[in-house]
Amino acid sequence: MSETDPPVIGDAFGAALARCWASGARPGAAFEIVERDDGYIGVTDMARYFGGRDSWPDLERAALTDVRGRILDVGCGAGRHAVPLRQDGHEVVGLDSSPLAVAITLERGAPAVSGTAQAVPAGIGRFDTILMLGGNLGLLADPETAVVTLTELARITAPGGQLLGTGMDPYRTEDPAHLAYHDRNRARGRPAGQLRMRVRHGRLATPWFDYLLAAADELTDLITSTPWTLNSIEEHGAGYALKLDLAAPTPAAVRPGPETS
């Protein structure tokens, strides 16, 4: 019997995305393998990162009707939203921690840069809309990091700007493996839905990272500690869409409305 080697740390997500892209984004060509710290492993088809408007969940489609001004697409992946937004004439920048994901988004015609919402690249400018779709509110990672991240995103958001994000309520499951995982987290003093996971592809694995699944009200509680205010929540099954507003400009800076209505 021989010993077992650990995977090599690298851009496993991007490598799987690149394999899918090289296949023409064909379903069945490449998979996202996600390993959780309780030994659970799951697989989804990478083709979903290339899904056209018809494949977007209702919550995402609705959120995207609200975009305005300069847009930052946080966790842009293969540019599923950034590329069509750009085609529609919006000024959009994709942001992803995966260098290969950034390269694919660029190749597909949308501007994109490497980085994370916790460490936004310098010189990226200011945005009127921050997108965290595709469940990317999970990138808020954990309650403390969520506050830091939302504050950092507020710093690069223009006064009166907005954040549109989708997330998933972890408590809407009856899967015994997931329920046991919630208990495991609670026993460790962690929020039940704070997943610790990594992506694997071939010999590659990303570093372990936290991904926060929270009920909508858990997340809106956190928002009170940030510069953002809650505008609206839309729920659909276990999913929800949040619309956050950045504190409006001070009255002195408000452009006067029309004298008559």
- Give the footprint of a second copy on this chain (CB under 8 A): 1-8, 27-28, 31, 33, 37-43, 45, 177, 188, 190, 196, 200-203, 205, 208
3 vs 259, beta carbon nearer a second copy: 3
4 vs 261, beta carbon nearer a second copy: 4
9 vs 248, beta carbon nearer a second copy: 9
177 vs 248, beta carbon nearer a second copy: 177
Q: Considering the complex, what minimum distance in angstroms separates the CB of residue 130 from a second copy?
A: 28
Helix-helix angle 12-22:99-107, to 10 degrees: 30
142 vs 218, beta carbon nearer a second copy: 142
In 10 A of CB 246, how many CB atoms?
22
Judge residue 70's burial from the number of C-beta atoms within 10 Å of its C-beta, 0-12 exposed, 13-18 middle, 19 or more buried.
middle
DSSP bridge pairs for 33: 43, 200
Q: Considering the complex, what minimum distance in angstroms separates the CB of residue 172 from a second copy?
A: 19
In 10 A of CB 249, how many CB atoms?
12
Q: Considering the complex, what minimum distance in angstroms separates the CB of residue 193 from a second copy?
A: 14
Q: Considering the complex, what minimum distance in angstroms separates the CB of residue 174 from a second copy?
A: 14
- Picking from 144, 165, 136, 143, the residue whose alpha carbon sits closest to that of residue 234 is 165
3-state secondary structure of 163: strand
Q: Considering the complex, what minimum distance in angstroms separates the CB of residue 196 from a second copy?
A: 6
> Is-contact 242 226, C-beta < 8 A?
no
